[in-house]
Structure 1
């Protein structure tokens, strides 16, 4: 009975904004892992709501990240919809050496610069928040470009986010990111399989 009371008390402290943001966030990541173009409209709703949520939580790097996500989600929706004439959907691809060489230092530099700025504000965990934001920036671009390895970055950064959001008492959001870890792992497995199948079909055609 006490457990039921604790759950009810906890639920009463959750906001409708966060509930809707979590539901649409889960839907968008699940659909993305399934290589479904309808992930993008759900993503747009979710990131718009999280702009407000992160502002209230003083996670300013994450708040700014949502603005970027909004733009990339619109781009991703456009890119995925413009598939080759011979394909049912945009084919997935492996990360290139150039993308790797650009992404790694970009994450470190962005994390240091933004963290150094945010530490002079009321931001919570400025360097950790900035590092997660930097990883997310890269992962989102790779997702929009249908690069398989975007899911590996999401697994890594989402684990960190779970801890951050628990510390900020954003329990629903922390739970959502825990589910994201699982979905991202499944997404990597499925996209890797799709890539192998697409390349096998290409070799047969040749």
Structure 2
């Protein structure tokens, strides 16, 4: 058993290890509403651009570039909190956002999948679907919309299977941990939202 673990560890790359560590840190910080998740996230996604290129997960590679840009936006948005707030308030998803999100996921899944099926990409449509869901979830995370965590839980479960199949075992473990962190993020943000609502009601009654 020990020899099997040693052999497995010897097949891991320092690049993937660095990506896993920074990835876990940034998602945990996001879950606890810490603004420092954004600069660490930019480091993590930069690393994964190279990892996914080597794994021929081209939609995921492109997604990291998108994440890099949205991470910069999220860092800016979270820093622009109201003067009387310690953090940017948590919001909830609207019916319009739900409809737009579903439309965006369908559109990008079909578009990216149709393009990638003519390349050497692995799982062109599944990879594109996960990418489309992640595009939407990342925007909601940057805008502090509570339901972003539910989307992440859903898509991260799928990613675990994909990365196991592609022999990215450390990354698969990381995404399994992401599921747990996303659940914590959802519960913590929901508690913050309830606290915000109670505070707002008290102000109105005063």
Which category of TM-score, normalised to the shorter sequence, fits these structures?
over 0.9
Between the two proteins, the alignment pairs up a number of residues equal to 204
Equivalent residue runs for 1:46-57 within 5 Å: 46-57=44-55
Q: Deviations over 1:162-187 (max 9, x none)?
A: 00000000000000000000100111
CA displacement 1:78-118 (0-9 Å, x = unmatched): 00001001101101010011111100111011101110110
Task: Please state if 1:85 is matched with 2:83.
Answer: yes
Counterpart in the other structure of 1:198 = 196
Note the alpha carbon deviations across 1:145-200, whole angstroms, 9 max, x for none.
00000000000000000000000000000000000001001111110110011010
Per-residue deviation, residues 1-20 of structure 1 (Å, max 9, x unmatched): xx111101100110000000
Q: 2-side partners of 1:10 and 1:193: how far apart?
A: 40
CA RMSD of aligned residues (A): 0.5
- 1:72 and 2:74 equivalent? no
Structure 1 CA distance for aligned equivalents of residues 99 and 11 of structure 2? 44
CA distance in 2, matches of 1:138, 1:7: 37
Distance 1:100 1:192 in 2: 18
Output the TM-score relative to the length of structure 1.
0.98
In the alignment, structure 2 segments of 5+ residues that lack a partner are: none
SS at match of 1:163: helix
Say whether 1:126 aligns with 2:124.
Answer: yes
Q: Which residue of 1 aligns with 2:14?
A: 16
TM-score, normalised to structure 2's length? 0.98
Secondary structure at 2:34's aligned position in 1? coil
Q: CA deviation at 1:203?
A: 0.5
* Distance (whole Å) between structure 2 residues aligned to residue 59 and residue 184 of structure 1: 23
Name the counterpart of 1:116.
114
Equivalent-residue separation in structure 2 for 1:180 and 1:97 (angstroms)? 27
Alignment of 1:162-177 (within 5 A): 162-177=160-175
Q: Deviations over 1:54-91 (max 9, x none)?
A: 00000000000000000000000000001001101101
* Separation of aligned partners in 2, 1:96 and 1:87: 23
